[in-house]
Chains A and B, each alone.
Chain A
Amino acid sequence: MANARSQVPKKRGDVVFSGLVTASGIAILVTLSAVAIFLVVESLPAFNPTADIGNAPDGFWAYVTPLVFGTLLAAVLALIFATPLAIGIGLFISHYAPRRIASSLGYVVDLLAAIPSVVYGLWGIQVLAPTVQPIYQWLNENLGWFPPFAGPVSGTGRTILTVSFVLAIMILPIMSALAREIFLQTPKLNEEAALALGATRWEMIQLSVLPFARSGLLSSAMLGLGRAVGETMAVAMVLSPAAVITFALITPTNPSTIASTIALDFPEAAGLNVNALIAAGLVLFVITMAVNITARGIITRHARKVAF
């Protein structure tokens, strides 16, 4: 960009200004390390095996394991629902919809991202849960032999499956926006070459768009997973939680997630319970960081391959 550094003599304004912007860059560094340090310091008492934690009588790890399980289960289910939809929406906007309305359609999907999570929670519990409850009933009656659909069926529909539906809707905008951007970057010549060889539109997408987009889609899925793992309010409101590890998706006893447990228990917590909740938050932080760094790794590893 600006390679004129050597030509322009250093003025005082320059020194002050560059110091200022560098300082704010360093402020980011400091903030993030402060987040990590404060979380570790505040959660250390909870890791003490002899500590008497009210909400975790069997020690911290026995307390947090079902929560980690629930967090990952809900997030992975949400990802399974959202990924095909996001690819479909991305393709629709980039390759199927008429050029003139494509950007407006993209904006409609972006609107989903703008809606606050507490509103999703309210909608999930008041509208979605009662709507899907009869479907759960039906699934249990007809496919009850399949472990995830084992009974007893929740009477309210406030199950982990409903939660993962809501989470899927919430991560859909970011994933489909990324998918759309990636699909639009496909080299036009590759597409035209495929079409010139007589490929149908889907064959063209299979031959030129999808291979090009594979790594990008993978990392967008990881970013969506990261979002779903950290989502709090929608889960806290919709789920009727219990401390269990189970793959049954439609019963009234569901594994809770880390974030929702913190939100539900923190306002009333005191003493070591606070430390246990902060420690759970630290575990969540580590999980989301691992997911996000994996996503970044995929992007940078494949960025070199794409730039031929």
Chain B
Amino acid sequence: MLQESVQDPRNGATSGGWAGGPPRVFQKGPVNVHPQRSLGSMAFTVFLHTLLIIGALIMAGPFIWMIITSLKDTSQAFSSPPSFLPNPIVWSNYPNSLQAMPFGEAYFNSIYIAIIVVVVDLLTSAMAGYAFARIRFPGRDSIFVLFLATLMIPFQLTIIPLFIIMQKLNWIDTHLALIVPACLFDAFGVFLMRQFIKGIPIELEEAAIVDGASRWTVFWRIILPLLKAPLSALGIFTFLSTWNSFFIPLIMLNTPDLFTVPLMLNQFKDQYTTQWTLVMAGSLIAVLPVLIVYIIGQRQIIQGIALTGLKS
């Protein structure tokens, strides 16, 4: 029996084992060493793929439908039953929606705000992370615990006083209200940087310190170059959350010239409610850059968010 099975592992009782339960023969010897090759298992894999493909259609469907609608004219968009392919393809929704709303300005605003926030946030987080990981100074650990404690505070709790502070600073309806708090406070970033810096061997720094290098030189020349991986993960996360942020820009900004992309899209949708072809073209314009960057760098982005996404 054993010999037979070894000669033909997919023979008789061994095949189809995994669909209805594991094969009993498994216990008896080196039979069916590749259970995934059995017929039942293949059927199961096909079944899983079918479900996953349906799922993928549901996940991608809204984006695809957005693109399809944006290439139709109004009568096609409202036809019933719906046409899945635009015929003829109408490109004019794109120039029209760009003309209807200053998306260009919104783009400029979103990009420059996100870049400043990412750069300054990475720098200040890495600096604080380095100090908490390596430098001894009075009060260090209690201040660090305070940082960790602030991670528990939902931003809705502090949003009203924050708004009043911005009013007192005369920063309402300026980009400073979005940039400065995001640049100067990132408890999670500080925590992430500290954890990574703690994992770096200390010998490198000690040698430099003995040679008379200042803390700043050590940080800038030795530590920062070693932080590429966590910095890019935090950078991606910070960029996306700044780019996509809605609540804070919504309450801080009033002037359309200052709007970021999500605010502009919100206003666009309010003004052109029933013109879905235009609104979908506008939505595509709003999401396209992020989606392109995402598709190019998806591996790093997913890993980065899985790592830092624990924050939200």
Partners in one complex: no
